[in-house]
Amino acid sequence: MKKVFERPKSLKNVPFRFCSGCGHSIIHRLIAECIDKLDIREKVIGIAPVGCAVFAYDYFDFDILEAAHGRPPAVATGLKRSMDNRIIFTYQGDGDLAAIGTAEIIHAANRGENISVFFVNNATYGMTGGQMAPTTILGQKTSTTPLGRDAKAAGYPLRIAELISTIEGVSYIARTSIDSYKNLIITKKAMEKSLRYQMEGKGFSLVEILSPCPVDWGLSPRDSVIWLRKELMSIFPLGTFKDKFS
């Protein structure tokens, strides 16, 4: 019998409007499937900032709060401390979390806030025109580095998973990818663990997800996956960087 893939209850019955080959729609579905599996839809609150992530309220069928650029961890802190029976997650891109939101994410992690962070790393500012982000790799061409990122002028790509994993208040840090079926399964398991740890009161967790951005990379959807595997993964290796309770 042919298997029918049904829409998760935690997603609205509307079409995604992301660019062709963008990873956000896949990541949205994985989050929704985890929430349905854990049966927490009536308790969960998502927080999305400025950027492509902001469209989360159009797609998730549960409470979504929009935050100022870079501030979701601060908003999540307030929500979780005032409503500790709710499951709070932030959904952030690299231009948001690793740039304007660097202070917020580091100090939320350092305080061990009992929240889950889903961090989408596509090595660019996706919504605003493909400018260089903190995660842009050396040599990568963007609208603000047309000759490629140069370390002398712009520094080096920021490895968030490795950085946050050194903080004592953190319980779980992983980096995954959505370039293959195998890595989709790994990503979903990491997301579920992050949410479970929060439900069990184990503290701060972050899942970094490597995701393609074909339009801003100037590649086809197929070639963007190849570039992700060849270039991004060489700078941002996949794996679990910290798990206090494993």
pLDDT tens digits for range 148-160: 999 999 999 999 9
pTM over 0.85: yes
**Of the options 3.30.360.10, 3.40.50.970, 3.90.1150.10, 3.30.450.20, the CATH number for the domain spanning 24-243:** 3.40.50.970
Q: What is the 3-state secondary structure (H, E, C) of the chain?
A: CCCCCCCCCCECCCCCCCCCCCCHHHHHHHHHHHHHHHCCCCCEEEEECCCHHHHHHHHECCEEEECCCCCHHHHHHHHHHHCCCCEEEEEEEHHHHHHHCHHHHHHHHHCCCCCEEEEEECCCECCCCCECCCCCCECCCCCCCCCCECHHHHCCCCCHHHHHHCCCCEEEEEEEECCCHHHHHHHHHHHHHHHHHHHCCCCEEEEEEECCCHHHHCCCHHHHHHHHHHHHHHHCCCEEEEECCC
pLDDT band at 127 (very low <50, low <70, confident <90, very high): confident
The answer to whether residue 19 scores a pLDDT higher than 80 is: yes
**So what's the pLDDT on residue 187?**
98
Residue 223 exposure: Cα atoms within 13 Å on the Cβ side: 7
What does residue 130 show for φ and ψ, rounded to 5 degrees?
75, 35
Q: Rounded mean pLDDT of 223-241?
A: 97
Spatial distance between the Cα atoms of 135 and 137, rounded to a whole number of angstroms:
6
Q: Rounded mean pLDDT of 166-188?
A: 97
Q: What is the pLDDT of residues 73-93, one digit of tens each?
A: 999 999 999 999 999 999 999
pLDDT band at 37 (very low <50, low <70, confident <90, very high): very high
The answer to whether residue 1 scores a pLDDT higher than 60 is: no
The answer to whether residue 221 scores a pLDDT higher than 80 is: yes
